[in-house]
Structure 1
Amino acid sequence: YDDMVHHMALVAKMGLELSTEERALFNAAFKNAVGARRQAWRALTMLEQKEKLRGETVEKSIKAFRAVIEEEIRILCYKILDLLTKGTRCSPLPYTQRPCSEVLPLATGAESKVFLHKLHGDYCRYLTEFEPGAPQGKHAQLAEDAHDSYKLASDIALNDLPPTNPVRLGLALNFSVFYYEVLNSPERACLLAKAAFDDAISAMDNLEDDEYQDSASIMQLLRDNLTLWTADMQEASDHHVN
């Protein structure tokens, strides 16, 4: 997907609002390019833990390869962030070297704005996986940027999109994951996910088949997360009592 990333970046730099199709392709390019590398990074991290007892040479080789994958992920994440809004406070590029055109300010429709602000939050969130909390507080800055993007997207979504809208539901899903995984706040994650699910469930009967399937699949993910997170909180509570 690296070629797709290159070409969609060129489209994004044209200075025009992305159409629905272009927005989907822009998202797919970075999602697949970064997603494959995140999976590889997780696999290497697990392998590194297993190989620690097998010898220092093997462990060093795995660690070196993992570092290469990490850097590729960073480059891709900062690339899309710079394309969306000239990046974050942590962007490695000087401001004057970032793209002249920005995708997000050109968006006019509510769904497009929500989708793109969510994307900005997503890639800040991904970067928190690889940036330590210190020195220089990079992790905290990225987490704050992610939260601000998700919050802005949520404000627009709650005002302008129906609760069954797949983009609004996808935002709730990712924002709740951010609360759970990055801010270590399972209670807020569950509250957000449950509110999104409950708001949507009452309006599902009014949807056409295609939109119903899109919304239902995201709602199932919300429900799965709620089940898992609630069980984890209960287990932690029981352990604390014991």
Structure 2
Amino acid sequence: MELIQKAKLPKCYDDMATCIKAITKQGTKLSKEECHLLSVAYKNVVGDCRFACRVISSIKQRTDTSDKKLQLIKDYWQKVESELRSICTTALELLDKYLIANATSPETGVFYLKMKGGYFQYLAEVACGENQKQMTDNFQGAYQEAFDISKKEIQSTHPICLGLAVNFSVFYYEIHNHPELACTLAKMAFDEAIAELDTLNEHSYKDSTLIMQLLRDNLTLWTSDSEREECDAAEGAETKPMVSSFFPSINLFTHLHSLFHLDFL
């Protein structure tokens, strides 16, 4: 009880993470409140590192290679990156060793798997090459497992089910460059929820309809993007020369930090 009270201290996220880690390692089932504290604590702790990484990366890109400060910037980047990796590794260990296998309901299992995917996402943001690909695959694997469970065992109007569909469809659109699959997934989730809209209870109505609106907004945006690209391709087919080069690659996970993360349970 003392640990949970410490974990609830307002905005003391480092202490909150330490306390909830100790509670989790006791091996007992986490209450709904403890699950929420776990998610909030680690998301905020790692969020500080992610923000620092983006700021440092921006400064590094604007700094001349001959500038003496560049090495200091690189050293600080490595320090922050190391801290981010440590936080993510700890969170993933808690999820794999204590939480996912012992989930007592489909909703809790999906909640934990969604968190697991999120921490692989954060690791992918600072990775490169094969390591980034591995983290991307791990992210996709966790989300696919969560999605399969939600399809079989959770009502399509449940906020966690809808939030999962938002994240997973954005992943396919932004990272896998698979707009057709992204639209199919988002439309299926939206249509299934619409069909069961009359079963929504008052408690989750606002949350569910908000996420359904996000799904519809994404579908509208993606469909218009696709139509515009097809139109541009048709107009430019006879006038634009073929090129063999490709645009310089960017970090695949530039967009993923804006994914819509909901922690409903």
| Common fold: TM-score over 0.5 | yes
* TM-score for both structures, normalised by structure 1: 0.81
1:172-215: per-residue Cα shift (whole Å, max 9, x none)? 12222222333232322222122212211232233233301111
Q: Partner residue of 2:220?
A: 227
Alpha-carbon distance change, 75 to 57 in structure 1, aligned in 2, over 3 angstroms: same
Distance 1:55 1:220 in 2: 50
CA drift of 1:167 comes to 1.0
Distance 2:190 2:204 in 1: 15
Question: How do 1:71-220 residues align onto structure 2 when only pairs under 5 Å count?
Answer: 71-86=82-97, 102-133=98-129, 137-220=130-213
Distance 1:54 1:224 in 2: 43
1:118-169: per-residue Cα shift (whole Å, max 9, x none)? 1111211221111112xxx222222222222111111111111111101111
Tell me how large the CA RMSD over aligned residues is: 2.4
Q: Is residue 190–residue 229 contact of structure 1 (8 Å, CA) maintained in 2?
A: yes
Code of the residue aligned with 1:71 in structure 2: it is: S
CA drift of 1:44 comes to 3.6
Alpha-carbon distance change, 162 to 72 in structure 1, aligned in 2, over 3 angstroms: same
Moved more, 11-20 or 218-227: 218-227
SS in 2 for 1:56: coil
Distance 1:25 1:2 in 2: 12
Q: Partner residue of 1:6?
A: 18
* TM-score for both structures, normalised by structure 2: 0.74
Distance 1:225 1:126 in 2: 23
Q: Is residue 34–residue 73 contact of structure 1 (8 Å, CA) maintained in 2?
A: yes
**Identity %, equivalent residues:** 42
Q: Partner residue of 1:56?
A: 67
Structure 2 gaps of 5+ residues are: 1-12, 237-265
1:47-101: per-residue Cα shift (whole Å, max 9, x none)? 444x246973455554444433322222111111111115xxxxxxxxxxxxxxx
Report whether the alignment pairs 1:18 with 2:14.
no
Report whether the alignment pairs 1:36 with 2:48.
yes
Structure 1 gaps of 5+ residues are: 87-101
Count of residue correspondences: 223
Larger radius of gyration: 2
Moved more, 195-204 or 51-60: 51-60
